[in-house]
């Protein structure tokens, strides 16, 4: 009887020990509060923007924002395999940070005063401009050349309205659900130009299937400072990301990423902006 009691007690202790170990073996972190080791970090990107943030057919991710985010995560102590990519569409970026769904977001996230009320930003890490994408043999050289021409952008786009309302009011505006549809319309000749940020346009034009077909007009119709979004009040993470971005620029990794992702479209990037200079 004594032997049986000892066996029962030992078995019970072993079960409790295994249960405690199992509870402690789950991922230490789901949004990135850890600093490497066996933890993971969730990072928000776009999944549908070639050259910036694109989920590829094989399930991997590519683009300038992906390269920036991977470098930053590495400086925070996370290997690429520890990054969990989360799709963060434009309308949900602030909510994703507020909910803690992601640790930070690198997704063509232009810094402006309204957004700064809701989130904090590190960076900026890229200065983009509104531009036009046209066919390689197009004679369109300035925005006013669009008068009487067909212009495409995404429904509700401020880029399209900027041109249509103030620069070329006689342009025939066509709005589609996504930029892929606009690029297809440009390729077929249904429209004469597509407008949005030059970095986004360059990303589409750099795809193998479009090489040599399109060119950027090279206009600077607006300034778009891309920042890394962080949950409001998380100043410690902002500081760490700024340090990582500074190192990415000084090491040459930033320019390498720009050339790799945008170069095939003839994208003439601005020099890396001053990190920590949060402007509108």
- Whether residue 75 is predicted with pLDDT greater than 60 in this model: the reply is yes
pLDDT (tens digit, 9 = 90+) per residue, 204-225?
A: 888 888 888 999 999 999 999 9
Tokens of 119: 């989130």
**Residue located via tokens 């991997």:** 60
Q: Mean pLDDT over residues 63-82, rounded?
A: 98
**Residue located via tokens 């009691």:** 5
Q: State how far the Cα of 32 lies from the Cα of 101, in Å rounded to an integer.
A: 10
pLDDT (tens digit, 9 = 90+) per residue, 42-59?
A: 999 999 899 999 999 999
- Count of alpha carbons within 13 angstroms of residue 185, beta-carbon side: 22
The share of the chain scoring above pLDDT 90, in percent, equals 67
What is the reported pLDDT for 36? 54
157 vs 67, higher pLDDT: 67
Report CA torsion sign: 16, 18, 24, 26: negative
pLDDT (tens digit, 9 = 90+) per residue, 217-247?
A: 999 999 999 999 999 999 999 999 999 999 9
What is the pLDDT confidence band of residue 190, given thresholds at 50, 70 and 90?
very high
What is the reported pLDDT for 22? 39
- Whether residue 150 is predicted with pLDDT greater than 50 in this model: the reply is yes
Burial class of 223 by CB neighbour count within 10 A (0 to 12, 13 to 18, 19+): middle
Residues in the chain: 280
Q: Mean pLDDT over residues 87-94, rounded?
A: 90
Answer yes or no: are the C-beta atoms of 31 and 21 closer than 8 Å.
Answer: no
Highest-scoring range by mean pLDDT, 116-125, 256-265, 269-278: 116-125
Q: State how far the Cα of 182 lies from the Cα of 50, in Å rounded to an integer.
A: 14
Tokens of 239: 């500081």
What is the reported pLDDT for 12? 42
Mean of per-residue pLDDT scores for the chain: 86
Answer yes or no: are the C-beta atoms of 270 and 127 closer than 8 Å.
Answer: yes
Q: State how far the Cα of 79 lies from the Cα of 241, in Å rounded to an integer.
A: 15
Q: Dihedral, CA atoms, 32, 237, 65, 175, nearest 10 degrees?
A: 100
- Whether residue 3 is predicted with pLDDT greater than 80 in this model: the reply is no
- Whether residue 103 is predicted with pLDDT greater than 80 in this model: the reply is yes
Q: State how far the Cα of 97 lies from the Cα of 159, in Å rounded to an integer.
A: 26
What is the reported pLDDT for 13? 41
What is the pLDDT confidence band of residue 166, given thresholds at 50, 70 and 90?
confident
pLDDT (tens digit, 9 = 90+) per residue, 120-145?
A: 999 999 999 999 999 999 999 999 99
Long-range Cβ contact pairs of 254-262 (< 8 A, separation 24 or more): 254/68, 254/125, 257/64, 257/67, 257/68, 257/71, 258/64, 258/126, 260/67, 261/51, 261/52, 261/62, 261/63, 261/64, 261/67, 261/203, 261/206, 262/51, 262/64, 262/199, 262/202, 262/203, 262/206
Q: What does pTM read for this prediction? A: 0.79
Highest-scoring range by mean pLDDT, 2-6, 90-94, 187-191: 187-191
Spell out where the chain has E strands: 41-45, 48-49, 53-55, 61-62, 83-87, 104-105, 119-128, 130-135, 150-154, 172-176, 193-197, 214-216, 224-231
Q: Mean pLDDT over residues 87-96, rounded?
A: 92
């Amino acid at each position: 009887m004594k032997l049986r009691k000892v066996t029962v007690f030992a078995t019970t202790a072993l079960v409790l020990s295994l249960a405690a170990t199992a509870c402690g073996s789950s991922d230490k972190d789901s949004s990135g509060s850890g600093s490497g080791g066996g933890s993971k970090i969730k990072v928000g990107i776009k999944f549908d923007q070639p050259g910036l943030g694109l989920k590829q057919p094989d399930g991997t991710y590519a683009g300038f924002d992906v390269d920036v985010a991977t470098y930053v995560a590495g400086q925070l102590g996370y290997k690429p395999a520890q990054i969990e990519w989360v799709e963060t569409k434009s309308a949900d970026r602030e909510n994703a940070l507020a909910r803690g769904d992601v640790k930070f977001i690198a997704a063509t996230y232009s810094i402006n005063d309204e957004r700064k009320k809701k989130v904090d930003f590190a960076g900026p890490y890229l200065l983009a401009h509104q531009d036009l994408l046209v066919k390689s043999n197009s004679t369109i050289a300035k925005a006013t050349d669009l008068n009487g021409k067909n212009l495409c952008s995404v429904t509700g786009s401020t880029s399209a309205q900027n041109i249509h309302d103030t620069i070329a009011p006689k342009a025939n505006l066509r709005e589609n659900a996504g930029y892929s549809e606009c690029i297809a319309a440009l390729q077929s000749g249904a429209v004469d130009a597509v407008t949005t940020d030059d970095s986004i346009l360059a990303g589409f034009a750099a795809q193998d299937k479009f090489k040599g077909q399109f060119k950027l007009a090279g206009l600077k119709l607006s300034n778009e400072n891309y920042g890394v979004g962080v949950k409001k009040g998380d100043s410690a993470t902002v500081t760490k990301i700024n340090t990582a971005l500074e190192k990415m620029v000084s090491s040459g990794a930033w320019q390498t990423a720009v050339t790799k992702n945008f170069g095939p479209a003839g994208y003439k990037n601005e020099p890396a902006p001053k990190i920590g200079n949060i402007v509108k």
